[in-house]
Amino acid sequence: MQTEKREEKRRTLAGEILEFLLVALAVAAFTFCFLYFTSQSLAETYLTDLGVFLSEGQQRVLWVWLRSLCLMAAAAVFLVLFLFMLGQRIAYLLKIIRGVDALQASRMDAAIPLEGNDELTELAERINYLAVSERELTGREQRLREERDAWIRSLSHDIRTPLTSMISYTQLLESRTELSEEEVRSYIRLVQAKSEQIRELTDRLLGREKQNLEKVEHMKFLMEQLAAEWEEILEERFVCRVDLSGLEDFSGLADIYGFRRIFDNLASNAEKYALPEEAVELRITGEKGDEAGGTLTVCQKNQIRRTGPSPESRGIGLESIRRIAAEYGGTAEVRCGDREFEVEIVMKIPACL
């Protein structure tokens, strides 16, 4: 609406120049008349006071001479006034050119001032609009690039976690000479599960970024499985305590590989920073929603290791957990004290369609 009103009131540059021309002509005509009649009256009065009487031919020559002088003065007024008014628009055009140079130098981080209400003003408005659009596009591209890089780092980190587990399992199989057939099969199943997880994460890294939601009839059973896998990763080095007493059973849609990434990152974080002499606690609670689905809360708590070399941390695992929780409309809150570290993840599980 404002644009339409502005277009209705917009004056053309040619019309504005014509207006300048008419104004200058009117002022010049007024100047000529004023000077001519004033000078004629003064000349007659002056000659009468002197007692000089001109012949008709002499009067005609005098009036022609006066008209010529007045015409020259009026022409000078016309040129000065017209060029002055036209010069203002030409100066604004030069200001637009300098503004474009400033936009190029500052990577579109500038603006051309708006003056007048003609095509030059419209040109400045459009250049400013293009500059704003270019800044927004550049900012959007930068954000997308940062999100893509963060996503690649996150998936790369999550691929490394199950790969490290696979290496640990195979080293255990190689180092232990006496293993029952059931233990061997258990390790093989774990290696297969981690291999499937790596394949899923690799597929996502190659382009399939969206959630792969599956119908889970018994969410409690899935959480028990994931908690058992979490415990198997840590049980060689830590005392693990798992609490599922507050977990209700319900159905919902879930990305199982996304859940595995959460638990793998929790285990990886505990391996790097937890105090081996103290227990690592995992508590999972869940509440069924009114119309199926529900809310899951996963909480890991451990004492912080202060002695020995401190592994370098970039927070990629925790950021990955936050991203996955956000996909379920949830949050991941980290609480780090002097001695204790706690991660609490809340996720809203959608109902099955």
Rounded CA-CA distance 327/77 in Å is 74
Rounded CA-CA distance 281/230 in Å is 11
Determine contact, residues 138/113, Cβ cutoff 8 Å: no
Rounded CA-CA distance 19/82 in Å is 10
Mean pLDDT by 10-residue block, N- to C-terminus, for the chain (353 residues)?
A: 46 80 92 90 84 81 88 92 86 84 78 81 85 86 82 71 75 72 76 75 62 84 90 85 92 87 86 86 89 87 71 68 89 88 92 78
Rounded CA-CA distance 337/335 in Å is 7
* Buried/exposed 13-51: b ≥16 CB within 10 Å, e otherwise: beebeeebeeebeebbeebbeebbeebbeebeeeeeeee
* 3-state SS class at 335: strand
- Quote the pLDDT of residue 121: 83
Residue 353 burial (CB count, 10 A) = 7
What spatial distance separates the first Cα and last Cα of the chain, rounded to whole Å? 44
- Quote the pLDDT of residue 188: 78
Residue 171 burial (CB count, 10 A) = 10
Determine contact, residues 342/321, Cβ cutoff 8 Å: no
- Quote the pLDDT of residue 43: 84
* Buried/exposed 81-102: b ≥16 CB within 10 Å, e otherwise: bbeebeeebeebeeebeebbee
User: Any idea how long the chain is?
Assistant: 353
- Quote the pLDDT of residue 134: 84
- Quote the pLDDT of residue 11: 65
- Quote the pLDDT of residue 133: 86
